[in-house]
Amino acid sequence: MVWFNAKKFTCRTCGLRLDSTLEMSTAGMSSGHAVEDADPRDFQPTFDAAAYDEWRAERLDDGEEWPYG
């Protein structure tokens, strides 16, 4: 089982935007949703080494200290 817990909600159709769990609750929406037959590995992003290397290089170019070598 996989649980999704939302802290915000935006409707792509009408543009409704709820910015907190309190707003979602007031609108009658639950902030949690279970998917019974899901495998948690199905929701893990794939690792993109090229994107990571680009992200790391940008930080090093900005002079950020990189403690991991």
pLDDT tens track for 7-66: 999 999 999 999 999 999 999 999 898 888 888 788 788 888 999 899 888 877 776 666
Q: Is there a domain that residue 37 lies in? A: yes
Give the pTM.
Answer: 0.48
Rounded distance, CA 49 to CA 47, Å?
6
Other beta carbons within 10 Å of 2: 14
Cβ contacts of residue 2 below 8 Å, gap of 6+?
34, 35, 38, 39, 40, 42, 43
Number of domains in the chain: 1
pLDDT at position 10: 92
- For residue 66, being part of any structural domain is answered with no
For residue 67, tell me if it sits in a domain: no
CB distance 60 to 31 below 8 Å? no
Give the domain range for residue 44: 2-61
In a domain, 24, yes or no: yes
Cα dihedral 1, 5, 47, 10 sign: positive
For residue 18, being part of any structural domain is answered with yes
Query: Is position 54 within any domain?
Result: yes
Q: Look up residue 37 and give its two tokens.
A: 């037959």
